[in-house]
């Protein structure tokens, strides 16, 4: 029987409600039926409804968990708080918020990444990494629509993936080693963005061949 708070919930809402509880079980039981059913019992959702919520199995459970992590990250860092930060601090804080949210379930995260690395799931894994980077850049206030939109997200997705690799085996106090690794990678992003901006600025100053030819044909009077 559905939890009274979820009685009128859509399947999307039920997925989000179940996802953190599934992740809490997945570290021990894997991303399978047992983790889903135990989560349904804990949240107060009928097991059959929970099964309907995740027809695609493990990958859909993982997707829903990542969506719940997005929501928790954005709740930790609302727009008014991010507005007081510089871009470097925004990106760092957003990545760290995601890591903080997944920290209690590191083994579930490890298992999730192993599932997404399987050949049949690789494309879905890339899309989820891209989506995570997109959510972070949007939260940071990025409004780029040209090729910068894609380069920023591609680079951040790579940084985030590398940081997770460190994070999964980080036993230092307060995950200090992960924070140091992330700081170095964010510094690399900032250097790249500055260099790119400089190159673009220089190209804007170069003579335009089309403008030059146009002046030859139609000299100013």
Residue 206 has pLDDT above 60, yes or no: no
Domain regions of the chain by residue span: 1-55, 78-204
φ, ψ of residue 211 in degrees (nearest 5): -65, -40
> Which of 1-5, 22-26, 107-111, 134-138 has the weakest average pLDDT?
1-5
Q: Output the pLDDT for position 221.
A: 46
For residues 51-69, give the mean pLDDT: 96
For residues 160-164, give the mean pLDDT: 96
Q: Output the pLDDT for position 163.
A: 96
Q: Output the pLDDT for position 215.
A: 54
For residues 18-47, give the mean pLDDT: 96
Q: Output the pLDDT for position 146.
A: 82
Q: Are 26 and 112 in contact (CB under 8 A)?
A: yes
Q: Output the pLDDT for position 122.
A: 95
Neighbours of 182 (CB within 10 A): 22
The residue behind tokens 């349904």 is 40
What whole-number distance in Å separates Cα of residue 151 and Cα of residue 164?
Answer: 20
Residue 213 binned pLDDT confidence (cut-offs 50, 70, 90): very low
Q: Output the pLDDT for position 180.
A: 96
Q: Output the pLDDT for position 147.
A: 81
Residue 212 has pLDDT above 50, yes or no: no
Residue 190 binned pLDDT confidence (cut-offs 50, 70, 90): confident
What whole-number distance in Å separates Cα of residue 87 and Cα of residue 116?
Answer: 30
Residue 199 has pLDDT above 90, yes or no: no
For residues 200-213, give the mean pLDDT: 53
SS (H, E, C) 133-182: HHHHHHHCCCCCCCHHHHHHHHHHHHHHHHHHHHHHCCCCHHHHHHHHHH
Residue 1 has pLDDT above 60, yes or no: no
For residues 39-71, b (16+ Cβ closer than 10 Å) or e, as one string?
A: bbeebebeeebbeebbeeebbbbbbbbbbbbbe
Averaged pLDDT of the chain: 88
DSSP the chain: ---GGGTT--HHHHHHHHHHHHHHHHHHH-SSHHHHHHHHHHHT--HHHHHHH-TTTHHHHHHHHHHHHHHHHHHHS-HHHHTTS-HHHHHHHHHHHHHHHHGGGHHHHHHHHHHHTSGGGHHHHHHHHHHHHHHHHHHTT----SHHHHHHHHHHHHHHHHHHHHHHT--SGGGHHHHHHHHHHHHHHHHHHHHHHHHHHHHHHSPPHHHHHHHHHS---
Residue 74 binned pLDDT confidence (cut-offs 50, 70, 90): very high
């Amino acid at each position: 029987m559905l939890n009274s708070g979820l009685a009128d919930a859509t399947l999307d809402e039920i997925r989000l409600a179940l996802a953190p509880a599934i992740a809490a079980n997945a570290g021990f039981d894997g991303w399978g039926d047992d983790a889903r059913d135990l989560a349904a019992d804990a949240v107060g959702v009928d097991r059959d409804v929970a099964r309907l919520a995740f027809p695609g199995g493990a990958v859909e459970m993982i997707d829903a968990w990542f969506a719940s992590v997005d929501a928790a990250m954005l709740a930790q860092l609302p727009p008014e708080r991010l507005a007081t930060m510089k871009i470097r601090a925004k990106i760092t804080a957003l990545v760290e918020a995601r890591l903080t949210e997944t920290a209690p379930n590191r083994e579930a995260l490890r298992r999730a990444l192993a599932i997404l690395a399987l050949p049949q799931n690789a494309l879905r894994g890339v899309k989820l990494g891209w989506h995570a980077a997109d959510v972070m850049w949007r939260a940071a206030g990025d409004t780029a629509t040209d090729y910068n939109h894609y380069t920023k997200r591609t680079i951040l997705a790579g940084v985030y993936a590398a940081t997770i690799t460190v994070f999964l085996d980080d036993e230092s106090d307060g995950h200090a080693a992960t924070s140091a690794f992330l700081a170095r990678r964010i510094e690399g992003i900032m250097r790249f963005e500055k260099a790119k901006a400089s190159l673009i600025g220089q190209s804007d100053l170069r003579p335009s061949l089309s403008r030059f030819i146009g002046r030859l044909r139609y000299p100013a009077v």
